[in-house]
Amino acid sequence: MKPRSLKRSNAHFKKALKRLPLGVASSFRYWGDDRTVYVDHGKGARVWDIDGNEYVDYRLGYGPAILGYADDRVDAAARKGMEVGGVFALSTEKELEVAERIAGMVPSVDLVRFSNSGTEAVMAALRLARAHTGRESYVLIEGSYHGLFDAAMWMVDVEDWEPERGREPRKVSYSKGIPQSLRQLAHLAPMNDPEMLESIFRLHGNEIAALLIEPIQGNCCAISANKEYVQKARELCDLYGALLIIDEVKTGFRVARGGVQELMGVRADISTFAKAMANGYPISAIGGREDVMRTFRFGGAAHGGTYTAHSVSIAAAAETLRILDETDALENIAAYGTELMDGISKILDARGIVHSFTGHPSMFGLFFAETPPDNYRDWKNSDYTFYDTMAEHLHDAGIIVEPDSREPWFMCEAHDAACLKDTLRAVEWSVEMTMEELAVA
């Protein structure tokens, strides 16, 4: 492989540190003082950094670029949206057009409200559930990511856990600055453990406003719930009068036209969408049952936002959703993901390296174990040394993946035969380099 230089990125990082914490606008973009990449531009499934290095991208901004970067169709629609004028603190007709499209694709959605990011959508969904039920507490599934807001930033401390003592792991916040008084409102349940979930509802069911779940965990290696677990969650919510919020910020309009709910055969009371719905333009949506959604009213649950349904983003969403709904884009994306997994398997099998995949062909996780974990606790206690080492070699070989194993590989419509060829060549080299490095270590 041709050596990669990050000379300009390294120099820019040193300058950026003077004005930007960690030299970046989001902490997750910091990959180390000498490995943080600054993008020059992207097109299709590839990006180029300011040093001129070219990459096939499987991060895709954590999933939004489902059609590929700078898609001509979506960008043309966005330019027409610019002509509308931006924001008015008034509505436009395009909002109804997109809401109708979402309701047509996702059977559980009767009404829609728009917002600007996945975090904002989930915040609004939880507020809505509390307003509708008159309750305050809620259930989170361990390992799920629902955005960076106080109510969602709770996890179990598996590292200091001693299960032989018969105790559950401690519930802790994963950031400084989270009010510890919120701890009592959040109940954490392991994925795919229906007995534990049921015990939480038995103890606290009359206090629980909602259960939030990502059936395919977008920030925990695409670990997936089984259908029985999701259906059990639906039953418990119905039994105890809680609302089921299915977070489709990453799976929505990606794994199927009807999202993960279509794959699982379940309907949410409230759904949240964001990443794939506008091919990278900033927009999100909250959708759900009519009686629940009409709690968004004066005297009910407050909802709003200056930039909500911005004319550019709503136009991009209309075109992106049209493409995903009316063409075979999703089928092609899944087919590419399947072909990529098959190619990776052949490389690893040839070297006797045990591995497995999780998730969906359009967003999959790779594990170096015979059976992948099906919950956060098992993932946290698994050995992901090989993956983390290989990821850095992949970067050097011109493939962008998350530097650790938490984030799935995302596919887009622009991934093509040339991308596949380049990727598999890079994977083969990176595997060899990783084997050599770990053998020495």
Contact by Cβ (8 Å): 36, 24: yes
pLDDT tier, 440 (very low <50, low <70, confident <90, very high otherwise): confident
Lowest mean pLDDT among 51-60, 288-297, 398-407: 398-407
Same-domain pairing of 360 and 304: no
Q: What is the residue range of 191's domain?
A: 72-326
Query: Residue 54 and residue 397: Cα distance in Å, rounded?
Result: 9
- Which residue in the list 49, 57, 71, 247 is annotated as catalytic? 247
Phi-psi region of 77 (alpha: psi -120 to 50; beta: other; left: phi over 0): alpha
The per-residue pLDDT for range 161-185, each reduced to its tens digit, is 777 777 888 999 999 999 999 999 9
Same-domain pairing of 248 and 145: yes
Q: What is the pLDDT of residue 162?
A: 76
DSSP sequence for 168-199: PPPEEESSTT--GGGGGGEEEE-TT-HHHHHH
- Is the pLDDT at 441 greater than 70? The verdict is no
Same-domain pairing of 240 and 306: yes
- Asked which of 275, 293, 326 is the last residue of a domain, the reply is 326
Neighbour-count burial for 57-88, b at 16+ CB within 10 Å, e otherwise: bbbbebbbbbbbbebeebeebbeebeebeeee
Q: Kindly state whether residue 2 falls inside one of the protein's structural domains.
A: no
Q: Kindly state whether residue 357 falls inside one of the protein's structural domains.
A: yes
Q: How many domains does the chain have?
A: 2
Contact by Cβ (8 Å): 258, 79: no
- Is the pLDDT at 323 greater than 90? The verdict is yes
The per-residue pLDDT for range 33-84, each reduced to its tens digit, is 999 999 999 999 999 999 999 999 999 999 999 999 999 999 999 999 999 9
Same-domain pairing of 318 and 332: no
The per-residue pLDDT for range 194-233, each reduced to its tens digit, is 999 999 999 999 999 999 999 999 999 999 999 999 999 9
Query: Residue 209 and residue 138: Cα distance in Å, rounded?
Result: 6
Two tokens, residue 127: 């507020």
Cβ neighbours, 10 Å, residue 236: 21
Q: Return the residue matching tokens 């309907």.
A: 267
Two tokens, residue 330: 């999703």
- Which residue in the list 38, 55, 145, 240 is annotated as catalytic? 145
- Is the pLDDT at 155 greater than 80? The verdict is yes
Contact by Cβ (8 Å): 146, 127: no
138 as an active site residue: the answer is no
The per-residue pLDDT for range 87-97, each reduced to its tens digit, is 999 999 999 99
- Is the pLDDT at 1 greater than 80? The verdict is no
Q: Kindly state whether residue 62 falls inside one of the protein's structural domains.
A: yes
pLDDT tier, 406 (very low <50, low <70, confident <90, very high otherwise): confident
The pTM (predicted TM-score) of the whole model is 0.96
Q: What is the pLDDT of residue 405?
A: 84
Same-domain pairing of 378 and 283: no
Q: Kindly state whether residue 1 falls inside one of the protein's structural domains.
A: no
What's the gap between Cα 245 and its chain centre? 15
pLDDT tier, 160 (very low <50, low <70, confident <90, very high otherwise): confident
- Which residue in the list 275, 376, 378, 422 is annotated as catalytic? 275
Q: Kindly state whether residue 260 falls inside one of the protein's structural domains.
A: yes
Q: Kindly state whether residue 318 falls inside one of the protein's structural domains.
A: yes
Could you tell me which residues are beta bridge partners of residue 326? none
The per-residue pLDDT for range 227-272, each reduced to its tens digit, is 999 999 999 999 999 999 999 999 999 999 999 999 999 999 999 9
Minimal CA–CA distance to 228: which of 201, 258, 191?
191
49 as an active site residue: the answer is no
Same-domain pairing of 76 and 185: yes
Domain with 146 in it: what CATH number? 3.40.640.10
Domain with 399 in it: what CATH number? 3.90.1150.10
Q: How many residues does the chain have?
A: 441
- Please tell me the number of Cα atoms within 13 Å of 361 on its side-chain side: 17
Q: Kindly state whether residue 381 falls inside one of the protein's structural domains.
A: yes
DSSP secondary structure code for residue 22 in this structure: G
Same-domain pairing of 275 and 336: no
Same-domain pairing of 132 and 176: yes
Contact by Cβ (8 Å): 321, 281: no
The per-residue pLDDT for range 13-23, each reduced to its tens digit, is 999 999 999 99
Same-domain pairing of 242 and 358: no
Q: No. of H helices and E strands in the chain?
A: 13, 16
Query: Residue 142 and residue 222: Cα distance in Å, rounded?
Result: 13
Mean pLDDT of 358-371: 95
Contacts of 295 (CB under 8 A, 6+ apart): 128, 131, 132, 301
Same-domain pairing of 312 and 409: no
Mean pLDDT of all residues belonging to the chain: 96
pLDDT tier, 394 (very low <50, low <70, confident <90, very high otherwise): very high
- Asked which of 326, 358, 378 is the last residue of a domain, the reply is 326
- Asked which of 276, 303, 326 is the last residue of a domain, the reply is 326
pLDDT tier, 404 (very low <50, low <70, confident <90, very high otherwise): confident
Same-domain pairing of 201 and 342: no
Q: Return the residue matching tokens 């989270």.
A: 178
pLDDT tier, 118 (very low <50, low <70, confident <90, very high otherwise): very high
Q: What is the pLDDT of residue 381?
A: 85
Q: Backbone phi, then psi, for 196, in 5-degree steps?
A: -65, -40
275 as an active site residue: the answer is yes
Same-domain pairing of 89 and 142: yes
Could you tell me which residues are beta bridge partners of residue 41? 48
Q: Kindly state whether residue 382 falls inside one of the protein's structural domains.
A: yes
Mean pLDDT of 382-405: 94
